[in-house]
């Protein structure tokens, strides 16, 4: 890691810097990094923002130490379903030796690139929501629909003690959500990527039992031989999906099933043939795939490897809800029309991984994954994650327009 040359990296304000950028950098410096995020400081930061914006702030502790923070701008017709602007407060770990700058200093270079963990995923969006609301309130705007900003923990480790629990709580029900925005991805081209669905993450551990013995002998029916068959079946499928993605140009990563061998365990000594081995696979399945048929395929692969081969799920998400992108849908029409009016080119895709949007959709609410970061390399979870301040500022304007359009969607028939 290189020494810093930014005299304001520890929080001194630059009078020439846009206040929204200054706030963004302040938020980035809060070390909400897994596995021990500083959530308390983040919540205090959000409480301060709520006070600045004169918005009520609700805190819901879904389990010990895991608080959902909600800022609410009440609409003129609060009986209508609300708009939910969701973001998560935690960020993934870093390997500091690979970073050019301190990943929690929010260093800004001479080109306006802000380097920090969370710059893209997704503290940028949190502050863009906040600053868009600040701008709209300063303009004296009011909207029929209530707008909620939710800031949730633990998304980066599955959301099990965050959004997954929150959507089952009465506090979530009282939000009366009609439509939600959540995180997306950067796009290196002029296009903005929009996500209307997500893959189902399946984490499968395959256990294999076989005959043990001395390492000098040709033991029959060993665990290693069976494991070889298992791995071959799984990875041959992986190669087929990989080639399908390459050969069918209209497909994106979200359209194919990704599969990776992520852990392999077994053995006690160089000269002992083990009686048991295990392999872990991370599988991400598009919502267009028949999940029952896919599990039957997994069962067949294990059965074909021989006796004593079993598998268990460490994660098995099965909800395949997708949000409509038809122009007849009033929510999508408001979103897409607003983007067109700003000359934004959209590309609709299935999200290749998993975000908290899946829990919102599973609860019966349409949700779009969208981060307004075009002309930006995809660097979430990567070294030297950054976002340019001009892209960030443009995102505030985009969200201001989108929030205005969505909060003004006329009363729907279901709300009559």
User: Which active-site residues does the annotation give?
Assistant: 90, 155
Residue ranges of E strands in 270-308: 272-273, 276-285
What SS3 state is found at 66? strand
**Does the annotation flag 383 for ligand binding?**
no
350: left (phi over 0), alpha (psi -120 to 50) or beta: beta
Report how far residue 267's alpha carbon sits from residue 276's, in angstroms, rounded to the nearest whole number: 7
- Give the span between the Cα atoms of 120 and 92, in whole angstroms: 11
**101 annotated ligand-binding residue:** no
Q: Which two tokens stand for residue 343?
A: 């000359």
**d(C-alpha 252, C-alpha 245), whole Å:** 7
Q: Which of 30, 119, 190, 192 is nearest to 382 (CA)?
A: 119
Q: In the block, which residue shows the tokens 């040709």?
A: 218
Report long-range pairs for 130-134 (Cβ below 8 Å, ≥24 apart): 130/23, 130/49, 130/53, 130/71, 131/20, 131/23, 131/396, 132/396, 132/397, 132/399, 132/400, 132/403, 133/53, 133/55, 133/71, 133/73, 133/403, 134/52, 134/53
Is 121 labelled a binding residue? Answer: yes
In the sheet where 258-266 sits, what is the strand order?
258-266, 276-285, 200-209, 309-316
Residue 225, marked binder: no
Residue keyed to tokens 């991370």:
282
* Gap between the Cα atoms of 306 and 300, Å rounded: 10
14 labelled ligand-binding: no
Cβ atoms within 10 A of the Cβ of 349, count? Answer: 19
Give the distance, in angstroms, between the CA of residue 371 and the centroid of all CA atoms in the same chain.
Answer: 10
Q: Which stretches of 54-138 are DSSP H helices? A: 123-138
Interacting residues of 158 by C-beta distance below 8 A, sequence separation 6+:
164, 315, 354
Beta-bridge partner residues of 87: 151
Residues making up the binding site for Zn(2+): 88, 121, 156, 183, 381
């Amino acid at each position: 890691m290189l020494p810093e040359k930014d005299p304001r990296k520890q929080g001194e304000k630059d009078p020439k810097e846009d206040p929204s950028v200054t706030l963004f950098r302040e938020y980035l410096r809060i070390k909400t990094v897994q596995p021990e995020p500083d959530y308390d400081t983040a919540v205090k930061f959000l409480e301060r923002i709520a006070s600045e914006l004169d918005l009520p702030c609700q805190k819901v502790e879904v389990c010990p130490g895991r608080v959902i923070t909600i800022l609410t701008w009440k609409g003129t017709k609060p009986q209508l379903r609300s708009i939910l602007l969701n973001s998560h407060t935690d960020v993934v770990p870093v390997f500091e030796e690979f970073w050019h700058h301190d990943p929690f200093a929010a260093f800004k270079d001479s080109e306006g690139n802000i380097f920090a963990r969370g710059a893209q995923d997704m503290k940028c969006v949190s502050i863009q929501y906040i600053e868009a609301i600040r701008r709209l309130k300063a303009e004296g705007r009011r909207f029929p629909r209530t707008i909620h900003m939710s800031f949730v923990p633990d998304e980066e480790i599955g959301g099990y003690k965050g959004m997954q629990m929150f959507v089952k709580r009465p506090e979530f029900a009282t939000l009366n959500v009609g439509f939600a925005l959540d995180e997306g991805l950067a796009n290196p081209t002029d296009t903005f990527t929009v996500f209307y669905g997500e893959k189902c993450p399946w984490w499968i551990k395959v256990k294999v039992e076989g005959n043990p013995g001395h390492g000098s002998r040709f033991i029959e029916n060993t665990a290693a031989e069976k494991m070889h068959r298992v791995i071959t079946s799984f990875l041959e499928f992986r190669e087929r999906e990989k080639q399908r993605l390459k050969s069918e140009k209209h497909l994106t990563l979200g359209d194919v099933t990704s599969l990776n061998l992520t852990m392999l365990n077994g053995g006690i000594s160089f000269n002992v043939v083990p009686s048991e081995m295990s392999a872990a696979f991370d599988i991400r399945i598009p919502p267009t795939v028949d999940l029952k048929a896919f599990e039957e395929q997994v069962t067949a692969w294990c059965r074909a490897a021989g006796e004593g081969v079993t598998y268990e799920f460490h994660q098995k998400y099965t909800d395949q809800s997708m949000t409509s992108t038809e122009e007849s849908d009033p929510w999508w029409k408001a979103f897409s029309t607003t983007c067109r009016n700003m000359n934004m080119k959209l590309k609709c895709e299935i999200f290749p991984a998993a975000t908290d949007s899946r829990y919102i959709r599973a609860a019966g609410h349409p949700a779009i994954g969208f981060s307004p970061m075009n002309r930006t390399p995809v660097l979430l979870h990567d070294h030297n994650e950054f976002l340019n301040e001009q892209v960030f500022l443009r995102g505030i304007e985009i969200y201001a327009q989108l929030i205005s359009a969505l909060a003004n969607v006329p009363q729907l028939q279901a709300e009559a």
